[in-house]
């Protein structure tokens, strides 16, 4: 499983970033901060140029973040995968046979312990770990869960990307376009 060896997943927050992604050599991208009314056009254009989008369900305005949303997205738009902080969304994405990515936040030890419990139940395909600038935690989460980790959040420099990848991240998600084409 993987993203055809793509180690940076462009995270798309606006139409300008979408345009750059569509013009890029990347096959996979992550759609953040959009609205339901724009989704059809975005997905049609993405598929027209042979790209695949992973949709962050929690950040699509006008869409409730539940298993019914997953059914709707899969039937209407056929995304490559879904990201969510919600276990029911991730479980439904797994049932639908698309990438199921559980987003977790590194807040403190208690939150991390609860995340481990959740991950053992859900068994997502990937874990997106935020912030992604904690290389020691990337390896720990991967060792603890045996699930590939995506590093995201507060990735600001080429060195941040390289540290995350060296620490074992399967890929890095970033909306910073200057980091989309770094040499790895």
* Distance between CA atoms of residues 139 and 129, nearest Å: 11
- Mean pLDDT for the chain? 96
In 3D, which of 139, 36, 148, 69 has the Cα closest to residue 101?
A: 148
The answer for residues whose C-beta is within 8 angstroms of residue 90's C-beta and 6 or more apart is 82, 84, 100, 101, 102, 122, 124
In 3D, which of 53, 43, 49, 67 has the Cα closest to residue 10?
A: 53
pLDDT in tens, 5-52: 999 999 999 999 999 999 999 999 999 999 999 999 999 999 999 999
Which whole number is the average pLDDT over 115-119?
96
pTM of the model: 0.95
In 3D, which of 31, 93, 46, 43 has the Cα closest to residue 68?
A: 93
pLDDT in tens, 126-154: 999 999 999 999 999 999 999 999 999 99
- Give Cα 56 distance to the centre of its chain: 7
The answer for residues whose C-beta is within 8 angstroms of residue 12's C-beta and 6 or more apart is 18, 21, 29, 30, 31, 32, 53, 175
pLDDT band at 1 (very low <50, low <70, confident <90, very high): low
In 3D, which of 46, 105, 98 has the Cα closest to residue 71?
A: 98
**Domains of the chain, with CATH numbers?**
8-178 (3.20.20.70)
Report the 10 Å Cβ neighbour count for 133.
20
């Amino acid at each position: 499983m993987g993203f055809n060896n793509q180690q940076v997943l462009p995270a798309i927050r606006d139409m300008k970033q979408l345009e750059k992604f569509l013009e890029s050599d990347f096959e996979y991208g992550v759609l953040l901060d959009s609205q339901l009314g724009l989704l059809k056009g975005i997905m049609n254009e993405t598929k027209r140029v042979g790209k695949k989008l992973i949709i962050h369900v929690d950040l699509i305005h006008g869409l409730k973040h539940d298993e019914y949303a997953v059914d709707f997205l899969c039937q209407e738009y056929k995304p490559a995968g879904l990201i969510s902080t919600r276990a029911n969304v991730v479980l439904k994405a797994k049932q639908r046979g698309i990438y199921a990515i559980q987003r977790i936040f590194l807040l403190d030890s208690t939150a991390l312990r609860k995340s481990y419990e959740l991950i053992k139940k859900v068994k997502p395909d990937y874990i997106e770990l935020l912030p992604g600038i904690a290389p020691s935690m990337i390896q720990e989460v991967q060792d603890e869960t045996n699930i590939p980790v995506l590093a995201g959040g507060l990735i600001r420099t080429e060195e941040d990307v390289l540290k995350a990848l060296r620490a074992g991240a399967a890929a890095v998600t970033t909306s910073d376009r200057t980091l989309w084409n770094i040499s790895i």
